[in-house]
């Protein structure tokens, strides 16, 4: 048997007495609407839709820059820093080839609800809560997820989409990217 650990109200009926004691002459419209704060980041009105087919060189460029960022962030020094950067980039190259990422075309849709990535292997739904940060590198944007990364090359975006992604990245960095409950 499951037991409730709630404290009971004065009426003994679990605190629902306050709801039942409303005057009968008040209609449903007499209750004031509750104020719900809504945060609209700069790019909330955008829906980005694009396709990506990665090349090995482009993918390794992303991984090389991201590996350097992680090594600097963790203050790894000589000789382990360069060794780890080369090792992680070669590991990414091996995974790129083995998983045949160069042969797949990924379709991305980014909006206020999150990120949808579609390929021939299925659909990935990524909530904004899973995005730790968005980094800008020389080849494009890198979405750092709780588990993994998502590179987005500049060549797949037009000028307004790049600006929208910069707005999303700035909002994410400032902690303002909270799309839950927005319309």
pLDDT tens by residue, 3-28: 444 444 444 444 444 444 444 554 54
Both tokens of residue 170?
């700035």
Contact at 8 Å (CB) between 71 and 81? yes
- The answer on pLDDT for 62 being more than 90 is yes
pLDDT at 21 (0 to 100): 46
Give me the sheet containing 148-153, strands edge to edge. Answer: 131-136, 140-145, 148-153
Distance CA 42, CA 156 (A): 21
pLDDT at 177 (0 to 100): 57
Rounded to two decimals, what is the model's pTM?
A: 0.66
- Crossing angle of helices 56-73 and 80-98, in 10° steps, is 150
Distance CA 89, CA 12 (A): 64
- The answer on pLDDT for 171 being more than 90 is no
- The answer on pLDDT for 102 being more than 70 is yes
Q: Where along the chain do its domains lie? A: 48-173
Of residues 117 and 100, the one with the higher pLDDT is: 117
Residues 6+ apart with CB under 8 A from 95: 101
Nearest to 155 by CA among 138, 179, 132, 139: 139
């Amino acid at each position: 048997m499951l037991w409730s650990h709630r404290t009971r109200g004065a009426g003994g009926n679990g605190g629902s007495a306050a709801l039942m004691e409303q005057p009968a002459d008040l209609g449903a419209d007499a209750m004031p609407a509750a104020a719900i704060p809504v945060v609209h980041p700069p790019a909330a009105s955008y829906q980005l839709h694009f396709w990506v087919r990665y090349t090995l060189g482009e993918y390794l460029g992303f991984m090389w820059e991201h590996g350097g960022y992680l090594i600097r962030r963790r203050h790894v020094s000589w000789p382990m820093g360069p060794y780890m950067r080369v090792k992680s980039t070669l590991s990414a190259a091996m995974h790129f080839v083995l998983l045949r990422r160069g042969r797949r075309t990924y379709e991305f849709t980014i909006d206020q609800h999150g990120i949808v990535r579609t390929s021939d292997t299925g659909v990935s739904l990524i909530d904004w809560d899973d995005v730790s940060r968005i980094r800008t590198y020389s080849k494009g944007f890198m979405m750092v997820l709780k588990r993994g990364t998502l590179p987005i090359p500049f060549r797949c975006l037009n000028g307004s989409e790049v600006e929208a992604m910069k707005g999303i990245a700035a909002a994410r960095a400032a902690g303002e990217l909270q799309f839950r409950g927005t319309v």
